[in-house]
Copies of this chain bind each other. A is one copy, B any other.
Amino acid sequence: MTDTKKTVYTFGSKKAQGNAQMKDLLGGKGANLCEMNLLGMPVPPGFTISTEMCALYSAGGRSIVLNRIKDEVQTAITEMESQMGNLFGSNTEPLLVSVRSGSRASMPGMMDTILNLGLNDKSAEGLANKTGNPRFVWDSYRRFIQMYSEVVLHIKPLNREAKNPFEEIIEELKKVKNIKLDNEFTAEDLKEIVYLFKSMVKKVSGTDFPSDPWEQLWGAITAVFDSWMNERAVYYRQLNNIPEDWGTAVNVQAMVFGNMGINSATGVAFTRDASTGENIFNGEYLINAQGEDVVAGIRTPQQISLEGSKRWATSAGVSEDERFEKFPSLEETMPKIFKELQDIGLRLEEHYRDMQDIEFTIQEGQLWMLQTRNGKRTGAAMVKMSVEMFEEGILTEKEALLRVQPERLDELLHPVFEKNNLEKAVVLGQGLPASPGAASGQIVFFAEDAVKWAEEGKTVVLVRLETSPEDLKGMVAAQGILTARGGMTSHAAVVARGMGKCCVSGAESFRINYKTRTLKCGDIELKEGDWISLDGSTGKIYKGQITTTAATLSGDFDALMNMTDNHATMKVRTNADTPQDAEAARRFGAQGIGLCRTEHMFFEGDKIKAVREMILAEDKVGRNAALAKLLPMQRQDLEGILWAMEGLPVTIRLLDPPLHEFVPHEEASQKEMAEEMDISVAVLQEKIRTMHESNPMLGHRGCRLGNTYPEISEMQTRAIIEAALNLKKAAIKTFPEIMIPLTGTPAEMEMQKKIVNKTAEQVFREYGQRIDYKVGTMIEVPRAALVADKIARSAEFFSFGTNDLTQMTFGYSRDDTGKFLPFYLENGILENDPFQVLDQKGVGQLMKMAAAKGLSERPDLKLGICGEHGGDPSSIEFCHSIGIDYVSCSPFRVPIARLAAAQAAIKNHKQIESESFNSQPELLEI
Identify the A interface with B (CB < 8 A): 693-700, 704, 707-708, 742, 744-745, 747-748, 751, 780-783, 786-787, 804, 807-813, 815-816, 819-820, 823-824, 827-830, 839, 841-843, 845-846
Contacts and interface: CB of A to CB of B under 8 A. Distances in A.
A685 to B, nearest CB: 15
A694 B696 contact: yes
Given A707-B823, A707-B829, 20 more contacts: A693-B813, A694-B815, A695-B698, A696-B816, A698-B807, A699-B819, A700-B816, A707-B824, A707-B827, A708-B819, A744-B811, A747-B828, A747-B829, A751-B827, A751-B829, A782-B782, A782-B809, A782-B811, A786-B841, A804-B811
A807 B748 CA distance: 17
28 contacts: A693-B815, A694-B696, A694-B813, A694-B816, A695-B697, A695-B698, A695-B815, A698-B807, A698-B811, A698-B813, A700-B820, A704-B819, A707-B820, A708-B820, A708-B823, A744-B810, A747-B829, A751-B827, A781-B809, A782-B782, A782-B808, A782-B842, A783-B810, A783-B811, A783-B839, A787-B842, A804-B811, A808-B811
A780 B807 CA distance: 14
Most B-side CB within 10 Å, residue of A696, A707, A745: A745
A520 to B, nearest CB: 13
A699 B816 contact: yes
A841 B782 CA distance: 12
Contacts of A815: 693-695
- Work out how many copies of this chain go into the complex: 2
B699 A813 contact: yes
A698 B816 contact: yes
Contacts of A816: 693-696, 698-700
A820 B704 contact: yes
Contact of A811 (B781, B812, B839): B781
Contacts of A693: 813, 815-816
A75 B885 CA distance: 64
A694 B694 contact: no
The 7 closest A-B pairs by CB, nearest first: A695-B813, A698-B813, A783-B842, A694-B815, A699-B816, A700-B819, A781-B811
A695 B810 CA distance: 13
A707 to B, nearest CB: 7
Nearest to A699: B816
Given A810-B781, A811-B742, A748 B829 contact: yes
A820 B701 CA distance: 9
A703 to B, nearest CB: 10
A807 B695 CA distance: 11
Contacts of A748: 824, 829
A782 B843 CA distance: 9
Residue in A698, A742, A812, A845 whose Cβ sees the most chain B Cβ within 10 Å? A698
A704 to B, nearest CB: 4
A830 B745 contact: yes
A814 to B, nearest CB: 9
* Max chain B C-beta neighbours (<10 A), residue from A707, A742, A780, A820: A820
B787 A841 contact: yes
A786 B823 CA distance: 23
A815 to B, nearest CB: 4
Nearest to A698: B813
Contact of A813 (B697, B782, B843): B697
Contacts of A697: 694-695, 698, 811, 813
B809 A786 contact: yes
Given A695-B816, A781-B810, A786 B842 contact: yes
Contacts of A827: 707, 751
A695 B804 CA distance: 13
A841 B820 CA distance: 32
A756 B699 CA distance: 36
Nearest to A697: B695
Given A829-B751, A830-B745, A786 B698 contact: no
A506 to B, nearest CB: 13
A686 to B, nearest CB: 10
Contacts of A813: 693-699
Contacts of A810: 744, 781-783
A782 B811 CA distance: 8
A857 to B, nearest CB: 15
Contacts of A843: 783
A816 to B, nearest CB: 4
A688 to B, nearest CB: 14
Contacts of A695: 695-698, 813, 815-816
A819 B615 CA distance: 14
Contacts of A747: 828-830
A844 to B, nearest CB: 9
Contacts of A707: 820, 823-824, 827, 829
A839 to B, nearest CB: 8
A328 B708 CA distance: 57
A787 B810 CA distance: 11
Contacts of A742: 811
Contacts of A699: 813, 816, 819
A157 to B, nearest CB: 24
Contacts of A845: 786-787
Contacts of A783: 809-811, 839, 842-843
A809 B783 CA distance: 5
Nearest to A743: B811
Contacts of A808: 698, 782, 808-809, 811
A647 to B, nearest CB: 36
A217 B417 CA distance: 91
A786 B846 contact: yes
A362 to B, nearest CB: 50
A820 B845 CA distance: 29
Nearest to A830: B745
Contacts of A828: 747
A698 B812 contact: yes
A630 to B, nearest CB: 21
Contacts of A744: 810-811, 842
Contacts of A781: 809-811
A386 to B, nearest CB: 37
A751 B815 CA distance: 24
Contacts of A823: 707-708
Nearest to A829: B747
A807 B745 CA distance: 14
A547 to B, nearest CB: 36
Nearest to A691: B819
A845 B782 CA distance: 11
A748 B820 CA distance: 12
A824 B786 CA distance: 19
A827 B750 CA distance: 12
A485 to B, nearest CB: 10
Contacts of A807: 698
Contacts of A782: 782, 808-811, 842, 846
Nearest to A821: B704
Nearest to A466: B694
A370 B809 CA distance: 57
A470 to B, nearest CB: 16
Nearest to A811: B781
Name the residue in A782, A813, A820, A823 with the highest tally of chain B Cβ atoms < 10 Å from its Cβ. Answer: A782
Q: Which of A693, A742, A808 has the most C-beta atoms of chain B within 10 angstroms of its own C-beta?
A: A808
A693 B695 CA distance: 9
Contacts of A830: 745, 747
A707 B812 CA distance: 15
A809 B698 CA distance: 10
A811 B693 CA distance: 14
A404 to B, nearest CB: 32
A762 to B, nearest CB: 21
A843 B782 CA distance: 9
Nearest to A841: B787
A812 B699 CA distance: 6
A308 to B, nearest CB: 49
A829 B747 CA distance: 5
Contacts of A704: 819-820, 824
Nearest to A694: B815
